[in-house]
C-alpha cells in the first residue's frame, strides 16, 4: 500500500494554506531592481522581489516604467520565478495599463500581482477579474495570484471578505497609509517600534488581518520597518510580527533588511528535524495517534508540523533526505 502524504490526509479535501518565502523585498528603480535580482541569485529563493510600479514610476512615465518592469520578468536574472509586481491602485487610471503592458511584454508572467490601497471587496474583485481576463487574452496558462494591501478603513472593515476572495494568496498591512488615514488621531510614533505594536488601533488592524488570513488559508504579510541602519530593530520587529501577531511574511525596503527578516521567519534546523521525525512516524502509523519523546500527537499537531516543512521547502531550505517522502511530486 502506498504511503499517503500529509497533503492527502490532513486537510480532508480542502486546499492546504498558501505558503511562500518569508520576505517580500520592494524595488522600484532599474538600479535597485538589478541589485535585488543579483542578491536573490546569491541567497536563493528565500525572499521574493516585488517590482514597484506604484511608487517606482514618475508621474507621466507610468507606461515606460511598466515596460521596464516587464523586461525583467522571465529574463536571465529572474532565476527562481519569485518576482512579482505592484501595480497602481484602483483610483489611478494607470492600473489597467500596468496590467496589460506587463502581461503582454513580459517573457514570463509575474509570480504575483500586488494591489495597493484596496478600499472594498468590489475594488479588489474588479481588479482580479481584469487581471484574469488579461492573462487569458495574452495566452498565459496559469492564473496569477494577487496580494492585497490592507491600508484603508474600508479594506480593514471587509478584511475577512477580502481574504476569502478566489485568486488572493496574501494580505499585506500598509502601516504608513493606515496611520495617515486617521488624520493625526494616531501619533506618528505608531509608524515605528515599539508604537506600531502597542497602539490599540494599530494592534487591532494587525490582528484582524492575520486572523482573516489564517481563517481562509492565506499568507499574512507584515508591514515594513523603516529602520535601515540598526538591523537588530528589524530583527526584533520580525520576531514580534511572527510570535505575537501570527504573520509569516514581512516587507523589506532595504537589502540589509532581508537577512534578519528571513532569519526571524524561517523554521530553525531543529524544528525541521523534529517535524520530519513526527510526520514520518505518523505516516508509518497511517496517520493515527503517535508518541514522540513522551508527547502524544494526532492530526491536529501533524498539521502544525506539516506547516513547518512546507514553509521550509517554499524557501528552499535544506530538508532531511527522509522528508522528501512526505511531499507529492507536485508540491
Binding-site residue set: 86, 151, 177
Query: Mind giving me the DSSP string for 218-253?
Result: -EEEEPP----S-HHHHHHHHHHHHHHH---EEEES
CA-atom Rg of the chain in angstroms = 20
Dihedral sign of CA atoms 316, 320, 321, 325 in order: negative
Q: How far apart are CA 331 and CA 315, in angstroms?
A: 13
Nearest-angstrom CA–CA distance, 161 and 212 = 8
Q: Is the dihedral of CA 207, 212, 213, 215 positive or negative?
A: positive
Q: What CA–CA distance (Å, rounded) separates 214 from 219?
A: 7
Give the whole-angstrom CA distance, residue 21 versus residue 266: 8
Binding site for substrate: residue ranges?
86, 151
DSSP state of 86: E
Q: What is the DSSP letter of 5?
A: P
Q: What span, in angstroms and rounded, lies between the C-alpha atoms of 50 and 244?
A: 26
The binding site for Mg(2+) comprises 151, 177
Amino acid at each position: 500500500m502506498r504511503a499517503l502524504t500529509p497533503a492527502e490526509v490532513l486537510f480532508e479535501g480542502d486546499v492546504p494554506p498558501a505558503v511562500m518565502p518569508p520576505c517580500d523585498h520592494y524595488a522600484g528603480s532599474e538600479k535597485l531592481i538589478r541589485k535585488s535580482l543579483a542578491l536573490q541569485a546569491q541567497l536563493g529563493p528565500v525572499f521574493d522581489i516585488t517590482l514597484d510600479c506604484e511608487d517606482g514610476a514618475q508621474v507621466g512615465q507610468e507606461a515606460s516604467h511598466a515596460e521596464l518592469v516587464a523586461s525583467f520578468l522571465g529574463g536571465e536574472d529572474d532565476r527562481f520565478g519569485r518576482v512579482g509586481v505592484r501595480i497602481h491602485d484602483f483610483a489611478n487610471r494607470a492600473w489597467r495599463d500596468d496590467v496589460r503592458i506587463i502581461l503582454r511584454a513580459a517573457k514570463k508572467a509575474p509570480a504575483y500581482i500586488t494591489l495597493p490601497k484596496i478600499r472594498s471587496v468590489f475594488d479588489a474583485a474588479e481588479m482580479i477579474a481584469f487581471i484574469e481576463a488579461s492573462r487569458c487574452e495574452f495566452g498565459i496558462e496559469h492564473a496569477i495570484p494577487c496580494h492585497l494591501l490592507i491600508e484603508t478603513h474600508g479594506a480593514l472593515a471587509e478584511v475577512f471578505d477580502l481574504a476569502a476572495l478566489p485568486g488572493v494568496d496574501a494580505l499585506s498591512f500598509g502601516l504608513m497609509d493606515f496611520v495617515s488615514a486617521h488624520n493625526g488621531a494616531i501619533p506618528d510614533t505608531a509608524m515605528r517600534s515599539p508604537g506600531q505594536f502597542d497602539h490599540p488601533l494599530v494592534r487591532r488592524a494587525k490582528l484582524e488581518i492575520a486572523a482573516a488570513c489564517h481563517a481562509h488559508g492565506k499568507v499574512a504579510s507584515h508591514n515594513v520597518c523603516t529602520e535601515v541602519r540598526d538591523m537588530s530593530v528589524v530583527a526584533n520587529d520580525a520576531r514580534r510580527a511572527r510570535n505575537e501577531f501570527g504573520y509569516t511574511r514581512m516587507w523589506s525596503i532595504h537589502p540589509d533588511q532581508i537577512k534578519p527578516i528571513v532569519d526571524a521567519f524561517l523554521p530553525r534546523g531543529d524544528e525541521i528535524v523534529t517535524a520530519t521525525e513526527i510526520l514520518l512516524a505518523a505516516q508509518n502509523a497511517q496517520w493515527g495517534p503517535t508518541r514522540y519523546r513522551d508527547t502524544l500527537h494526532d492530526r491536529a499537531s501533524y498539521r502544525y508540523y506539516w506547516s513547518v516543512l512546507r514553509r521550509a521547502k517554499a524557501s528552499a531550505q535544506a530538508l532531511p533526505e527522509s522528508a522528501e517522502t512526505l511531499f507529492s511530486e507536485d508540491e
